[in-house]
Structure 1
Amino acid sequence: MIYIVLLCPFCKSPRIVRANQKTALCYTCNKRFSILKCRKLYSSDNLKVAMEILKKVKTNR
């Protein structure tokens, strides 16, 4: 399974989603958005690697 680290198009909050999802819910602004219309920062087939990238993105905000 491939995991993508992306930014919410509304509030720019980062989160991880599975690549086969069509939409995601932002945990910060509570809005649903299409994964195709947002900025993708990183993708990996390893969840632990994607979580480490997410931590780095959150600390650099």
Structure 2
Amino acid sequence: MLEHTMGWASEELASIDLGDTRRNRRAIQLIERLAEHPTASIPGACNGWSETQAGYRFLG
């Protein structure tokens, strides 16, 4: 699951509440990906097309 791959962001945002646990997980994952590659585009920071699409859906 996503929780296994997340580190500092899941700790920092432990109390995040976006109304749905899936949104919470997606926010944490996207923040971690963008922090790992701060100068990359969203597709460049995400791991694959499905994660990129999910990131864009989240931001939309």
For the aligned pair, the TM-score class normalised by the smaller chain equals 0.3 to 0.5
Higher strand share: 1
Greater relative contact order (Cα < 8 A, sep 6+): 1
TM-score, reference length from structure 1: 0.34
TM-score, reference length from structure 2: 0.35
